[in-house]
Amino acid sequence: MIDKRLLSRRFSEHAKTYDAYANVQKNMAKQLVDLLPEKSINHRINILEIGCGTGYLTRLLLKTFPNAAITAVDLAPGMVEVAKGMTDEERVTFLCTDIEEMELNENYDLIISNATFQWLNDLPATLEKLFTRLTAEGSLIFSTFGIDTFQELHMSYEQAKDKLQLVIDSSPGQMFYSLEELSQVCEETIPFSSAVPIEITKMEKFELEYFQTVREFFTSIKKIGAANSNKENYCQRPSFFRELINIYDKEYRNESGVKATYHCLFFKIKKYDQSEDNSGIQAKYYT
């Protein structure tokens, strides 16, 4: 379980350094823009953005949809303040709230979220809530991190536990879905029916970052506020982390530096107008 108060505090504390370190998240935002519905670009549409952070994707949306109204939501007040300061546009309404607790009273043509859903404690319930707020031809588009994210860290963590013979059930961070697992969550959560034809597009992409040292990698995570925010305890012995760093540096260093893998998942869930002939579109999947 994610400790939302701790998560909010950490992201707020590092809001001013986020953009300098969030290179992968920016690339993911650009990929989401490529999935946007082109025929809506010049229309007056209503957009909900979840986890707006410093507003990087928000500003891309403003450029892409010149006539759209955007509600941008984030859990961390520090992030919202930075986003407001960098986004001088009356078409955007910023809200500091938890999407899992937020009551939605409007319908949206587009609901979009970049690198945020991994912080939700009940993703299925949130997906269901969001889907019911899509308009007749609305789209839910999101990216999140997959199961192979930071695989080097997780494997080094397990090896260090084994080497020091530590019998603890812990992890250096939350667990992520595979592409197939997340597809299944969507399929089981979203109410497929012949009355509401739906098309799901999914894809995955791996991004690699390299650092001079393992500690530099840890610093990059800290500087975007993405350190471990689980409620459960994890091993914090200095001797354990020295061993973890030694293993990481030995096993995952090459000529480019110490490697860190980001496993990026992208989903687009598109509704189709019930009044149109959309037979054969229901629940199609494309990899």
pLDDT digits 0-9 by tens, 246-275: 999 999 999 999 999 999 999 999 987 655
In degrees, rounded to 5, the angle at the alpha carbon of residue 55 between the alpha carbons of residues 132 and 153 is: 90
Q: Which two tokens stand for residue 185?
A: 């969550």
In degrees, rounded to 5, the angle at the alpha carbon of residue 204 between the alpha carbons of residues 141 and 3 is: 65
Instruction: List, in sequence order, every residue forming a beta bridge with 107; answer none if it has no partner.
Output: none
Mean pLDDT confidence for 239-252? 94
Q: Which two tokens stand for residue 169?
A: 């059930």
**Full domain range(s) for residue 168:** 4-286
The answer to whether the Cα torsion of 35, 265, 249, 171 is positive or negative is positive
pLDDT for res 197: 81
Residue 77 has pLDDT above 50, yes or no: yes
Residues found in the chain: 287
Mean pLDDT of the chain: 89
- Quote the number of domains for the chain: 1
Is pTM beyond 0.85? Reply is yes
Instruction: List, in sequence order, every residue forming a beta bridge with 264; answer none if it has no partner.
Output: 145, 205
Neighbours of 241 (CB within 10 A): 17
pLDDT of 108-136, one tens digit each? 999 999 999 999 999 999 999 999 999 99
pLDDT for res 193: 52
CB of 259 closer than 8 Å to CB of 210: yes
Residue 73 has pLDDT above 70, yes or no: yes
Mean pLDDT confidence for 45-63? 97
Q: Which of 153-157, 163-167, 263-267 has the lowest mean pLDDT?
A: 163-167
Mean pLDDT confidence for 221-238? 72
Give the CATH number, domain containing residue 150: 3.40.50.150
Mean pLDDT confidence for 180-201? 82
pLDDT for res 221: 92
More confident residue, 107 or 227: 107
pLDDT for res 285: 38
Distance separating alpha carbons of residues 87 and 33, to the nearest angstrom: 18
Give percent of the chain above pLDDT 90. 73
Q: Which of 31-35, 103-107, 137-141, 186-190 has the lowest mean pLDDT?
A: 186-190
Q: Which of 55-69, 75-89, 126-140, 218-232 has the lowest mean pLDDT?
A: 218-232
